[in-house]
Amino acid sequence: MTIDVYKVVKKLIGEVDPIGETQTDDERFENLKAMAWLIEKLLTDINDVAYRCKNNHQYSMKRASEFASKFITDLGIVE
């Protein structure tokens, strides 16, 4: 499933690598900005789970918090 979601997002956003042709690169730059915006939103959602559930004693919520926190830390993002 994860690969399918990735493929769908890539198809929706489009190519992001510049090729040295102004018109194409302008479009790809907009795609790159859209991708960065999406990643920022997704990281915010993950960080919110880490923060909101960190002191919870329910197993499922604590597990989600620990996973999210480790994910953010492994990316090198300081809380």
pLDDT tens digits along 10-67: 999 999 999 999 999 999 999 999 999 999 999 999 999 999 988 889 999 999 999 9
Which residue in this structure is represented by tokens 């809380």? 79
CA–CA separation, 67 vs 45, rounded Å? 13
CA dihedral 23, 24, 26, 28 (to 10 degrees): 170
User: What's the pLDDT score for residue 60?
Assistant: 95
The CA distances from residue 1 to 6, 21, 29, in Å, are: 9, 35, 28
78 vs 23, higher pLDDT: 23
